[in-house]
Structure 1
Amino acid sequence: MRVLTHCLSFGKPRSLIGLWLGLTGLLAAIALSSLLYGAGDIGPARAWQALQHMGTASGGEARFVLTELRMPRLWIGLVVGAALGIAGALLQAVTRNPLAEPGLLGVSAGAAFAVTLAILWGADTATLRVSVAQLGALGGCLCVLAAARLQGIGDDPIRLILAGAILSGLLHSLSSLILLYDQYTADEIRFWVVGSLAGRQLDDLVPLFPSLGIAALLIVMLARPLAALALGEHVAIGLGHHPRLVRLLVIVVVALLVGGATAAAGPIAFVGLVVPFAARALAGPDIRRTLWLCLPLGPIVVVSADIVSRLVVPPSELPLGVLTALIGAPVLIGVVRGRRLPTL
């Protein structure tokens, strides 16, 4: 516990703790709403009654909807939201670019393309898909890091986003060609490829736990070096940190988080942009404070968007990726149209 407190220490603890508790309370209310509201015939009243009698054999259809349909997608939404929010904050910190986001820079597209290939080649286990998605995300991360090191691209946030858009477009085109080539693959991932929590099961989370545990451990180790790196490489070196090693480990963490989230719910854009943006607005630029707030903010965004996706076109559902794009696009436009991009 001392190590965790030391690594993730922050200034003004009372204000941050109060803010974190408030966001956690909001998340609890949104999670309850996720269980009560849906696109089917089970309304809030019946769902609430089934929730009250969860430990009994009564409930019938309502109890089935809660336990087999809504609760699994809630848990997956919580994990995916936290993973994408934290991954976005880390990616923005390591590239020093407030526009850096896994969906915009090709990281999510790399994971999705890798999963598409895995399904084409007959991969039918969730564990294999998670591993393949993480390798694809790692490839996308390395491309982003290489682009960020290029003179004229890494120094310009807009050019870096354009480079990421080109990579994403290329990977999406290749994925589309595969879907046209193989009908089985198209049927398997048609709804998944736009990002959705519908139809997911709790078993889909099990393969994520080892990699998420490793990622959490690395984040605890990297929080202070990243805060030092934000002051400049020379300052970080003077404090005993190794910037290249820090960047490499951050890329590994981002690949683990984004790859796992993409394997579970498909590529969900803009969460990694909106969540860190909101966290910095609430807590300031310190990466340690930002990471703490991304933990509840990510699930808040994803689960809220999932609730809306069920209710806007009943009895059908909109893909979750469509809702997050509608939320994130105005944020992206607002940041780009600002007089100057905030420095990280």
Structure 2
Amino acid sequence: MLLKTNRARTLGLLVGIILFILSICASILLGYTATTWKMAIDAYLNFNGSNEHIIIQTTRVPRALIAAAVGSSLAIAGAIMQALTKNPLASPGIMGVNAGAGFFVVLSITFFAQASLNQLTWSAFLGAAVAAFTVYFLGSLGREGLTPMKLTLAGAAMAAFFSSFTQGLLVINEKALEEVLFWLAGSVQGRDLDILLSVLPYLVLAWIGSLLLANPINVLSMGDDVAKGLGQKTVLIKLSSAIVIVLLAGGAVAIAGPIGFIGIVIPHLARSIVGIDHRWVIPYCGLLGGILLLVADIGARYVIMPEEVPVGVMTAIIGTPFFIYIARRRMAG
């Protein structure tokens, strides 16, 4: 733990906010088309219809804001999942959220001919919610109720279930494969601001909810018996946490597709900085998750310029070594 006092953590939070804002600014300015601060400002104050102004308004700004919101949401969802399951490798994938969202998108394209990105967004959001609540229900069956092991196994089973059916639909439907392939890789490219605005109310509600749940999650982390002894309603806390996870992870996946590893990497990084108190871990996750996805998206523009790689590929490159390190350390322990 690097920051051991509340004063140091507060200062670190301010530094994180500054880096977060700078990352958004960098995302707006950097890319194949050269732009400047003046162009970015004039695009809104003195719009002249130039190619640079159009790119800033319709591509760069929405892309930066979407990356910031999605990265923050995935990181916070990962932190809550790891606390709820007591599994350091937990992430939105552990509850089958990504797989459920992808399956519902492919299902919509195949059977309902949904073509617009907004329609696919809501299909993905519904799929994420169905997957998460199914996992929660299956993990709660039995006399012991909801346990970390049962939740993890139910999540893995549902992820495999949805992924198998998704692959089956893609095999028999080339049109669906063409339309959904880039989305399935995870990307913030080509999304307009309307998509973010349609999901933003749910994300904001979940951000607030995660902060309100921070202290109850701290108590729950000490064990169900201890939490009950301290007067906590453990079932209500777990259910509320599951709803927040659905809103965060489901909303993020609906906007940008299944972007991996942020929900695993960032909570560990946040805890290494501020410790295990979720009153600090959650806001740090929000900032660090947004920064990581913004930086990864900027990198995705330059790797094979003038073409771009999906940002999900970049986060996988960053996150895979860390995932292996955590897994090996857990096995050694």
TM-score range, shorter chain: 0.7 to 0.9
1:211-239 deviations in Å (ceiling 9; x for gaps) = 22332343243222111111221221122
Q: Which moved more, 1:118-127 or 1:187-196?
A: 118-127
Describe how 1:68-217 pairs up with structure 2 within 5 A: 68-120=58-110, 121-124=112-115, 129-142=120-133, 144-145=135-136, 146-147=138-139, 164-165=155-156, 167-217=158-208
Question: Which ranges of structure 1 fall in alignment gaps of 5 or more residues?
Answer: 1-10
Alpha-carbon shift at residue 26 of structure 1 (Å): 1.4
Aligned AA for 1:60? S
Which of residues 311, 314, 322 in structure 1 aligns to 2:305?
314
- 8 Å CA contact 2:73–2:207 kept in 1: the answer is no
Q: 1:81 to 1:148 in 2, by over 3 A?
A: farther
Q: 1:333 to 1:292 in 2, by over 3 A?
A: same
| Aligned match of 2:284 | 293
1:228 matched to 2:239 = no
1:281-303 deviations in Å (ceiling 9; x for gaps) = 11101122110101111111111
- 8 Å CA contact 2:16–2:288 kept in 1: the answer is yes
Q: Which moved more, 1:307-316 or 1:242-251?
A: 242-251
Identity of aligned residues (%): 36
Alpha-carbon shift at residue 155 of structure 1 (Å): 6.3
Q: What RMSD, in angstroms, separates the aligned Cα atoms of the two structures? A: 2.7
Aligned AA for 1:32? C
Alpha-carbon shift at residue 85 of structure 1 (Å): 0.7
CA distance in 1, matches of 2:194, 2:123: 17
CA distance in 1, matches of 2:158, 2:273: 32
1:15 matched to 2:8 = yes
Q: Which moved more, 1:287-296 or 1:219-228?
A: 219-228
Question: Which ranges of structure 2 fall in alignment gaps of 5 or more residues?
Answer: none
1:62 matched to 2:55 = no
- 8 Å CA contact 1:105–1:167 kept in 2: the answer is yes
Alpha-carbon shift at residue 264 of structure 1 (Å): 0.5
CA distance in 2, matches of 1:339, 1:187: 39
Alpha-carbon shift at residue 133 of structure 1 (Å): 2.8
Structure richer in helix, relative to its length: 2
Q: Which moved more, 1:109-118 or 1:268-277?
A: 109-118
Q: 1:17 to 1:337 in 2, by over 3 A?
A: same
1:323 matched to 2:314 = yes
Q: 1:200 to 1:339 in 2, by over 3 A?
A: closer
Q: How many residues align?
A: 325
Q: How high is the TM-score relative to the length of structure 1?
A: 0.85
Q: 1:16 to 1:204 in 2, by over 3 A?
A: same
Q: 1:109 to 1:228 in 2, by over 3 A?
A: same
Which of residues 47, 50, 72 in structure 1 aligns to 2:36?
47
Q: 1:129 to 1:58 in 2, by over 3 A?
A: closer
